[in-house]
A and B are shown apart, each in its own frame.
Chain A
Amino acid sequence: QLQLQESGPGLVKPSDTLSLTCTVSGGPISSSLYYWGWIRQPPGKGLQYVGSIFYSGSMHSNPSLNSRVTVSIKTSESQFSLKLSSVAAADTAVYYCARIPYCSGGSCYGWSNYVDVWGKGTTVTVSS
């Protein structure tokens, strides 16, 4: 059964770069069937798509994050990573890594699809 596990610092200083890694187990990360993404949830709030990556390295990010997002992938280590630069208190959230099907129901959406597998999430607090 596919499992996703987030890891990284729980505390980041304002203006620094947030770095998280997701380790994929129980299935291949080098698959043309999925994007691998990040979704976040500020305390007591709803969900926000952050960004995602394909095994080939093709990346997409949420424009509302003003180009601060970089998502990368290391297929040899079954990991993908998130970097969010110039963080502020508003970036405090639970960050989930996620598997996003490339296609479903005969249609292909690429990165813009539902999430069918979620990691447990990791809390990141931005504070000095």
Chain B
Amino acid sequence: EMVLTQSPGTLCLSPGERATLSCRASQSISSSYLAWYQQKPGQAPRLLIYAASSRATGIPDRFSGRGSGTDFTLTITGLEPEDFAVYYCQHYGSTPTCTFGQGTKLEIK
């Protein structure tokens, strides 16, 4: 069964800095079937990236995704105050279920 491991668990940065979040898969992910979500306290997740690098509708271009195989990255350039949240990766396009990572919390330093 696929396991997604996100690192670091917590990332402390200041507004304006660049954030790099990692998602590592236990098996190779074909065709980059990987998505990223942002979740703020008390809110539902929001889709940011799908197909590893495609931004969802309305997502600012400071969010970018890349990767293939087992290693994927979400990068946020020029952190805004509203970007501090928890980020999850998700593998889809497989059976018997789709899988989420455990999350990375992005905190203000």
Among A49, A109, A114, the one with the most B-chain Cβ atoms within 10 Å of its Cβ is A114
**In whole angstroms, what is the CA distance A8 to B43 when docked?**
18
Asked if B46 and A104 make an inter-chain contact with CB atoms under 8 angstroms apart, the answer reads no
Residues of B in contact (CB 8 Å), total: 27
Residues of A in contact (CB 8 Å), total: 22
- Given pairs A62-B97, A64-B97, A118-B44, 12 additional interface contacts (CB within 8 A): A45-B102, A46-B102, A47-B90, A49-B100, A109-B92, A113-B92, A113-B93, A114-B47, A114-B90, A114-B92, A118-B45, A120-B44
Is B13 close to A, CB under 8 A? Answer: no
The 8 A CB mask of B85-106 against A (1 = contact, 0 = none) is: 0001010111111111111000
Asked if B51 and A104 make an inter-chain contact with CB atoms under 8 angstroms apart, the answer reads yes
Residues in A neighbouring B51, C-beta threshold 8 A: 104-105
The dominant DSSP class at the A interface is loop
Asked if B101 and A63 make an inter-chain contact with CB atoms under 8 angstroms apart, the answer reads no
**In whole angstroms, what is the CA distance A4 to B39 when docked?**
17
